[in-house]
């Protein structure tokens, strides 16, 4: 169990980021992906990394997903500007 979880978390984060890039290349504002994870955090009442709960959880927590989206935002915005300038 402890060996498998890091791989599935990494794959889910990759899917989040790949999905954001696909929507961006289709002309959607990538800030909506960031807004989604902020809303999810708010709805679930998370305050950040949830310690032991996160250790046993399969998907990454919302705060980690939000950080990953924020880190990819400059690249996404460049793709968005290119997609919307056509």
Q: What is the pLDDT of residue 39?
A: 87
Q: What are phi and psi of 28, to 5 degrees?
A: -90, 140
Rounded to two decimals, the pTM is 0.74
Joined together, the tokens standing for residue 53 give 């709960």
Distance CA 86, CA 69 (A): 25
Q: What is the pLDDT of residue 71?
A: 96
Q: What is the pLDDT of residue 52?
A: 47
| Measured CA angle at 35 (ends 29, 38), to 5 deg | 160
- Domain containing 69 equals 4-84
Do the beta carbons of residue 68 and residue 17 sit within 8 Å?
A: yes
Q: For the chain, how many structural domains are there in total?
A: 1
The tens place of each residue's pLDDT in the chain, 86 residues long, gives: 455 555 688 889 999 999 999 999 999 999 999 898 888 888 877 555 555 455 556 677 888 889 999 999 999 999 999 999 86
Continuous segment of H or E residues that includes residue 26: none
Do the beta carbons of residue 37 and residue 19 sit within 8 Å?
A: no
């Amino acid at each position: 169990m402890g060996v498998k979880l890091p791989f599935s978390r990494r794959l889910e984060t990759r899917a989040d980021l790949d999905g954001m890039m696909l929507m961006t290349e289709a002309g959607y504002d990538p800030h909506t992906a960031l807004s989604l994870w902020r809303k999810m955090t708010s709805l679930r009442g998370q305050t950040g990394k949830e310690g032991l709960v996160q250790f046993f959880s399969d998907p990454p927590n919302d705060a980690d997903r939000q950080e990953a989206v924020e880190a990819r935002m400059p690249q996404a915005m460049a793709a968005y500007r290119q997609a919307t300038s056509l």
